[in-house]
Structures are given as structure tokens and as C-alpha cells.
């Protein structure tokens, strides 16, 4: 058992199992953000090791204490694929796919959340800070508070929080709100998400909600203030800048362009293969531009990286079939022996290759139908140390609140998106530079370290305010 002053609780541990049965760091940005704070605070990380029926003891890794929470095959199906990704994920992304409300999935969610909360309560030192991450663990804040009233609890929601009209579909809406309100600070990506949450709390629980916080009634009759506020997440920008300046990565970018036949314009899409990302909408727009002769395969090509994700969930398997049909149709119509309209890669790549792709791409297409933040948009911007390249960004991605000099699109409006893509194609280098500089400034100033510092400062303040 450890006694950590800072305990991060996330669905996944920040490591993956390697082929030799050891562990390697997983590439996520959250690890990069929290590693320095975790080392300093004698931190512990509670999470699932990512495979069913893998039960391992606590261990130390790279200055962090890791506390694995095992999940059975059945729990992976009901808690992770079921309630997290078959109920909450589609509901919170504005019902792009139909959420399923299954009581057995909910029961597994409650049970697994309790297990995470127990592990966090055991790992926390007296008066520690416990920071819960994301929608898979919405009940954990309250479950930790019930066992450990001495600790300060933060929760950060990485995905959107929907409008009340949608949220209210959830049969367990009260339990979820009460679970989240166990936290002292509940962080969201956008101000609109925080407002949706506050409204749901007001409508369901009748708690008083003000800018200073939500007045929560504790079980013992006392009251405290919980703060619901936007803390837009970011990336480790310096790490991307460093990679983008490496000679081997710049050479690789030139090589990618050459391998694609040195087209004048390379479009790039990089997403988990998820129905929220608008991959099909983007391909439709590009396909029609080829159909109409506004683009030609000799001059332009789209590289679409779609990394495999949640493959056992029905909606994801269906989406893959759909996307692959669209790619086949567009390529079948437009490809020549030498050139392709869409280079589709259903694969994941290391960060070095991603940065080479960002440097090779003239136009980055982020056309999500709904997205908490979209860190790919920020990665592209951070990598463009040459201040060139154009970001086409959906107004439905959280990143749109910050990246105001991107070309904004509504991905449902295919005609509008086609025009926006052509504007990007035709944008002169001086205009690209002007816009990219502003985007880069924002991402570099507001990187992931600033994000975690901002959240933890608000958390410390709220503890003080509630103690006085
Ligand atoms: O940001 C949303 C999120 O679900 C994270 O919680 C998660 O780490 C990431 O996307 C990848 O999803 P998964 O863990 O389901 O592969």
C-alpha cells in the first residue's frame, strides 16, 4: 500500500504491456502532463492495465507508483465496451450513434467504479489530492469522498457534456450527477460543457448554481461549494517542436511527399476510427471535389490515418465497413496507376511518424461532428515550426474555442466544407504564416503543463475556501 499525496485515477494506466511481459510508457498526453507533478508529489496512478483478466501487483515505474485495477472479460464487455462506450460515449456526443440503456451494463459500471474508488482511497495519504479522469469514472468522486472525507477531490471530463434535453434520457442521471458532485472541482473542456452540467444539476437536484460554484448538500447536512468550470486541455507542445526540428523527421516528411508522388497538395486526417470524428463527411467532401474536377489526383491526395479503436463495439465495426466502402468507391473512380485519391491507413503510428506526416501535410482536416477537445489539431499546429500549413477545424471540436484563426467548418454542411477546403488549397503562404503564428502562440502558451497547473491550483483554492 502506498501513501501518495497526489493520486490520479484514470480508466487506463499510463503504461502498456510489451511483448516480453514488461511495461512501456503509453503515448498519451496526460502522462506527459502529470509526470513532473506526480514525481514531485510522491504520486500514485490508479488504472486498468488494458487487458482483461490481467491481475498484477502495484509497482513503481518511472518515478510513479502504479496501482493496477483488474477487470474480468465480462467487466470489460459491460463496464468499458458497454456502459462507457455504448451508453455514455454516444449520449454525451449528441447521440450521433444510438445509446443503449442496459441495466446490466449500469450495474457493472457501479461495481467497477467502486473498485477504482477503493483503490484510490487506499493509495491516498492523509489530506491528499485525488484527481479522477473522465467519463468511465463519473461515480468515483462521491465514492472516494464517502470513504475519505479528508482528501481533496478533482474530476476532469475529457469529452463533451451534453445539453440537458439529451442528458435527461439517462435512466441513472441523478446518480451520475451525484457521483460527479463528490468532487470539489469538476473540470470541463468548454464553458458550454460546464454550463450544461450546471443546468442538469439545477434541473435534477435543485441545487443552487452560481458562478462561484454549486452549493452541494453533504450527507451530514452541512454544505460546501463545488466548482464547475472550463479548463481546456492541451498537449506537450515543446515535445512536438523538438521532434519537428529533428533532421531525420524532416527528411522523413520529404520522403512521405515523394512516396505520394510529390502532389501539390497533401490533405491529412488523423483520428481514432470513431463515428464522432466526421471521417465520412470529410471523405464525401473530398470525393465530390474530385468528381467535379475542382481537385485532381495528379495534384492532390488525402492521407487518412484511422487508428483502430473499440473494435468489439458494434457501432465501431459498422463504421469501419462504411468508411472502407467510401474509400473504395472514391479510389475506384479516381485513382490512376500512379496516383491515389485517398491513402487510407487503418493503423497506429509512433509519434515520430505522426510529426513527419504533420510536416508533410499542406492542409489538416479536423472535421469532428462532436469532440471534447481534439488534440490532433493542437499537435499539427505545434509541429508547424515553419509557420506553414492550414488547419481546417470543425466548430464542434472543443479546440475551436481557442484556435480562432483556423478555417472553421460545419462538417454537416458538405458544400460549405468543400469551399473551405478549396480556400485552404488556395491560401497564399503569407496568409498561412499569419494564421499559423497565432495558432502556435496559443498552443505554446497554453500547453499541458499550464493546464494541469491551472486545474490543481483551482483545486487547492477550493479546498481552502471550503475549510474556512
Ligand atoms: O478522451 C476520450 C478517451 O476515451 C479517453 O478517456 C481515452 O484515454 C481515449 O479517449 C482513448 O480511448 P480508449 O481508452 O477507449 O481506447
The lowest-confidence range among 62-66, 99-103, 378-382 is: 62-66
| Residue in 418, 422, 367 with CA at minimum distance from that of residue 397 | 367
Among 8, 9, 12, 31, residue to substitute to test ligand 1 (most atoms within 8 Å of Cβ): 12
pLDDT at position 62, please? 84
The yes-or-no verdict on residue 19 having pLDDT over 90 is no
Closest residue (by CA) to atom 6 of ligand 1? 134
pLDDT range class, residue 269, cuts 50, 70, 90: very high
Tell which atom from ligand 1 comes closest to the C-alpha of 373.
Answer: 1
pLDDT band at 103 (very low <50, low <70, confident <90, very high): very high
Atom of ligand 1 nearest to the CA of 372: 1
4-233+449-467 to CATH, choices 3.40.50.2000, 2.60.40.1120, 3.40.50.720, 1.10.10.10: 3.40.50.2000
Q: Which atom of ligand 1 is nearest to the CA of 135?
A: 6
CATH class of the domain defined by 237-445:
alpha beta
Cα of 217 vs its chain's centroid, Å: 32
In ligand 1, the atom with minimum distance to the C-alpha of 30 is: 8
Pure H helices in 47-155? 73-75, 89-92, 103-123, 140-147
Question: 373 and 398 in contact (C-beta within 8 Å)?
Answer: yes
> According to the model, what pLDDT value does residue 304 have?
98
264 CA distance to ligand 1 middle (Å): 35
The answer to whether the 4-233+449-467 and 237-445 domains have the same CATH topology is yes
Q: Where are the domains of the chain?
A: 4-233+449-467, 237-445
Q: Which atom of ligand 1 is nearest to the CA of 158?
A: 1
What SS3 state is found at 311? coil
Residue 397's pLDDT is what? 98
Task: Tell me, using a 6 A CB cutoff, whether residue 370 lines ligand 1.
Answer: no
pLDDT for 2: 64
Query: What residue owns the CA closest to ligand 1's atom 1?
Result: 158
Per-residue pLDDT of 238-258, as tens digits, reads: 999 999 999 999 999 999 999
Quick one: which of 171, 179, 177, 212 has its CA closest to 196?
177
Ligand 1 neighbour 134 (Cβ under 6 A): yes
Quick check: CB of 365 below 6 Å from ligand 1? no
Amino acid at each position: 500500500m502506498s501513501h501518495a499525496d497526489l493520486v490520479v485515477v484514470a480508466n487506463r494506466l499510463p503504461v502498456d504491456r510489451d511483448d516480453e511481459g514488461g511495461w512501456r510508457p503509453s503515448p498519451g498526453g496526460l502522462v506527459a502532463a502529470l509526470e513532473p507533478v506526480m514525481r514531485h508529489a510522491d504520486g500514485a496512478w490508479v488504472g486498468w492495465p488494458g487487458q482483461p483478466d490481467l491481475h498484477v501487483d502495484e509497482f513503481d515505474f518511472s518515478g510513479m507508483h502504479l496501482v493496477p485495477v483488474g477487470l474480468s472479460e465480462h467487466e470489460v464487455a459491460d463496464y468499458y465496451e458497454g456502459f462507457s462506450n455504448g451508453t455514455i460515449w454516444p449520449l454525451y456526443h449528441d447521440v450521433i450513434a444510438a445509446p443503449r440503456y442496459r441495466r446490466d451494463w449500469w450495474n457493472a459500471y457501479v461495481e467497477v467504479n467502486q473498485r477504482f474508488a477503493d483503490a484510490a482511497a487506499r493509495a491516498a495519504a492523509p489530506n491528499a489530492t485525488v484527481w479522477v479522469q473522465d467519463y468511465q469514472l463519473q461515480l468515483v468522486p462521491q465514492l472516494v469522498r464517502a470513504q475519505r472525507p479528508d482528501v481533496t477531490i478533482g474530476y476532469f471530463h475529457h469529452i463533451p457534456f451534453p445539453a440537458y434535453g439529451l442528458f435527461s434520457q439517462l435512466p441513472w442521471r441523478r446518480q451520475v450527477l451525484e457521483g460527479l458532485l463528490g468532487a470539489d472541482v469538476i473540470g470541463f473542456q468548454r464553458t458550454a460543457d460546464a454550463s450544461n452540467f450546471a443546468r442538469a444539476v439545477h434541473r435534477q437536484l435543485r441545487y443552487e448554481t452560481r458562478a462561484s460554484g454549486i452549493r452541494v448538500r453533504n450527507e451530514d447536512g452541512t454544505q460546501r461549494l463545488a466548482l464547475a468550470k472550463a479548463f481546456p486541455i492541451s498537449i506537450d507542445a515543446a515535445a512536438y517542436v523538438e521532434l519537428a526540428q529533428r533532421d531525420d523527421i524532416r527528411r522523413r516528411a520529404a520522403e512521405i511527399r515523394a512516396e505520394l508522388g510529390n502532389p501539390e497538395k497533401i490533405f491529412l486526417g488523423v483520428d481514432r476510427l470513431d463515428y464522432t470524428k466526421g471521417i465520412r463527411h470529410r471523405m464525401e467532401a473530398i470525393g465530390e471535389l474530385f468528381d467535379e474536377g475542382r481537385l485532381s489526383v495528379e495534384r492532390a491526395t488525402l492521407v487518412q490515418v484511422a487508428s483502430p479503436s473499440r473494435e468489439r463495439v458494434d457501432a465501431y465495426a459498422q463504421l469501419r465497413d462504411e468508411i472502407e466502402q467510401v474509400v473504395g468507391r472514391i479510389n475506384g473512380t479516381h485513382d490512376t496507376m500512379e496516383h491515389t485519391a485517398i491513402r487510407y491507413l487503418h493503423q497506429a503510428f509512433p509519434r515520430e511518424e505522426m510529426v513527419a506526416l504533420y510536416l508533410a501535410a499542406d492542409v489538416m482536416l479536423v472535421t469532428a461532428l462532436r469532440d471534447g477537445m481534439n488534440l490532433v489539431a493542437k499537435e499539427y499546429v505545434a509541429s508547424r515550426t515553419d509557420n506553414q500549413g492550414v488547419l481546417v477545424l470543425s466548430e464542434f471540436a472543443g479546440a475551436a474555442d481557442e484556435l480562432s484563426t483556423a478555417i472553421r467548418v460545419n462538417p454537416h454542411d458538405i458544400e460549405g466544407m468543400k469551399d473551405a477546403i478549396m480556400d485552404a488549397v488556395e491560401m497564399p503562404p503569407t496568409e498561412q504564416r499569419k494564421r499559423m503564428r497565432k495558432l502556435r502562440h496559443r498552443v505554446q502558451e497554453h500547453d499541458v503543463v499550464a493546464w494541469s497547473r491551472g486545474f490543481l491550483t483551482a483545486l487547492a483554492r477550493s479546498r481552502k475556501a471550503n475549510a474556512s
